[in-house]
């Protein structure tokens, strides 16, 4: 897989920079205000989502779960970066969920005053466009360079199972609303690959292509990343037998679909899958069953075809 170093080097080379240049102040910054989020995705955890707290307390009553801020109360991020804004070329927002942060809108207010040509880039769950007395469209319409990457790990019930709080039909409505309200925005999908959706990703690609949510020949319309920190959910933790089954499914798909960018992602995923031999499927089973009980959900029911193929004994 490509590293973030390689990705960023390519991005900045495209802007006309090379690695020999140096600057007195940053040209790009990434901001994560806190772990405030309205989703409790199965591939996430309390340190990056406050919505996870109630389930986490049942899974591990001894744990400590609290809101985590990336700044001191007396020195909010808008104050910290105000002097940098005139020379910045890019701000990347992530979370938690950045659109639920009041300081996010304060940063946009400041940027509009001194640097309206700055590029704004987001990782967001695209669940809402309003927060308190703010509507993000009021700002996005005024920034010429806007990239919004929507986190979606599946469609229909499968996507809703993985990303607790996600509603597929609402996502489609919000996607279309954003396109209508801010037509110059560059939209992309970020798909996080885990054991849960290791086969569903093939269905997902077909669905979003059918809905014209991405152009398979544009490398910036769809991105696939991997669960790694929660090792028992990583595709690296599949058994040798199941890795073989996944490889067969991916290769069959690639042989029958000439989607250059998608096929490259799938090749990278296979390489990543084979980079370790953790074999933590028993941990995956127990974790999934416990969380299913807490949430009154059923992996076996919703992912019946995947279970039948990969996990017949689950």
Closest CA to 107 of 212, 182, 30: 30
CATH homologous superfamily of domain 24-193?
Aldolase class I (3.20.20.70)
Angle at 170 between CA 225 and CA 287, to 5 degrees: 50
* Strand (E) or helix (H) holding 119: strand 119-124
**Which pLDDT belongs to residue 186?**
94
**Which pLDDT belongs to residue 217?**
66
**Which pLDDT belongs to residue 51?**
97
Calculate helix-pair angle for 260-273, 240-256, nearest 10 degrees.
170
Residue 113 CB coordination number (10 Å): 11
**Which pLDDT belongs to residue 77?**
95
The CA dihedral of 281, 284, 288, 289, to the nearest 10 degrees, is 60
Bridge partners (DSSP) listed for residue 190: 151, 223
Q: Residue 303 carries which DSSP code?
A: T
Start-to-end CA distance of the chain, whole Å, equals: 30
Encode the chain (314 residues) as per-residue pLDDT tens digits: 678 788 888 888 888 887 788 888 899 999 999 999 999 999 999 999 999 999 999 999 999 999 999 888 889 999 999 999 999 999 999 999 999 999 999 999 999 999 999 999 999 999 999 999 999 999 999 999 999 999 999 999 999 999 999 999 999 999 999 999 999 999 999 999 999 999 999 999 999 989 989 876 676 788 899 999 899 999 999 999 999 999 999 999 999 987 678 888 999 999 999 998 888 999 999 999 999 999 999 999 999 999 999 998 77
Residues of the chain by 3-state class (helix, strand, coil), percent to 5: 45, 15, 40
Cβ atoms of residues 180 and 213 within 8 Å: no
Cα separation, 227 vs 287, in Å, equals 15
Cα separation, 264 vs 270, in Å, equals 10
**Which pLDDT belongs to residue 219?**
64
How would you write 31-92 as a 3-class SS string? EECECCCCCEECCCCHHHCHHHHHHHHHHCCCCCCCCCECCCCCCCHHHHHCCCHHHCCEEE
- The set of residues, in sequence order, having a beta carbon less than 8 Å from that of 4 and lying 6+ positions away, is none
CA 301 to chain centre: 25
CA 47 to chain centre: 15
**What totals of helices (H) and strands (E) does the chain contain, helices first?**
13, 10
In the chain, what are the domain boundaries? 24-193
Sheet containing 28-32: give its strands across: 28-32, 90-94, 119-124, 145-151, 186-193, 222-226
Calculate helix-pair angle for 200-210, 240-256, nearest 10 degrees.
30
0.95 surpassed by pTM? no
Cα separation, 79 vs 103, in Å, equals 10
């Amino acid at each position: 897989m490509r590293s973030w170093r390689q990705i960023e080097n390519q991005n900045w080379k495209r802007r006309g920079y090379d690695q020999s240049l140096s600057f007195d102040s940053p040209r790009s910054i990434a901001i994560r205000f806190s772990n405030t989020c309205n989703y409790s995705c199965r591939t996430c955890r309390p340190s990056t989502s406050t919505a996870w707290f109630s389930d986490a307390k049942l899974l591990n009553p001894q744990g400590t779960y609290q809101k985590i801020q990336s700044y001191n109360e007396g020195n909010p991020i808008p104050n910290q970066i105000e002097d940098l804004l005139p020379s910045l070329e890019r701000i990347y927002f992530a979370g938690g969920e950045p659109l639920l942060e009041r300081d996010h809108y304060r940063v946009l207010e400041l940027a509009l005053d001194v640097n309206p040509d700055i590029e704004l880039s987001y990782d967001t769950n695209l669940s809402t466009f309003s927060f308190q007395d703010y509507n993000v469209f009021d700002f996005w319409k005024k920034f010429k360079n806007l990239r919004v990457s929507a986190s979606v790990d599946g469609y229909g019930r499968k996507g809703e199972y993985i990303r607790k709080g996600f509603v597929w039909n609402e996502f489609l409505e919000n996607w279309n609303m954003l396109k209508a309200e801010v037509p110059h925005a560059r939209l992309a999908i970020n798909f996080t690959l885990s054991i849960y959706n290791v086969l569903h990703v093939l269905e997902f690609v077909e669905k979003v292509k059918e809905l014209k949510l991405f152009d398979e020949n544009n490398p910036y319309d769809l991105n696939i990343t991997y669960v790694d920190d929660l090792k028992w959910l990583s595709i690296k933790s599949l058994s040798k037998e199941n890795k073989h089954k996944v490889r067969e499914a991916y290769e069959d798909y690639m042989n029958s679909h000439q989607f250059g960018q998608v096929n490259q992602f799938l090749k990278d995923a296979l390489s990543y899958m084979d980079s370790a031999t953790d074999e933590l499927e028993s941990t995956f089973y127990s974790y999934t069953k416990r969380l299913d009980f807490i949430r009154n959900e059923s992996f076996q029911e919703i992912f019946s075809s995947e279970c039948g193929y990969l996990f017949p004994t689950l």
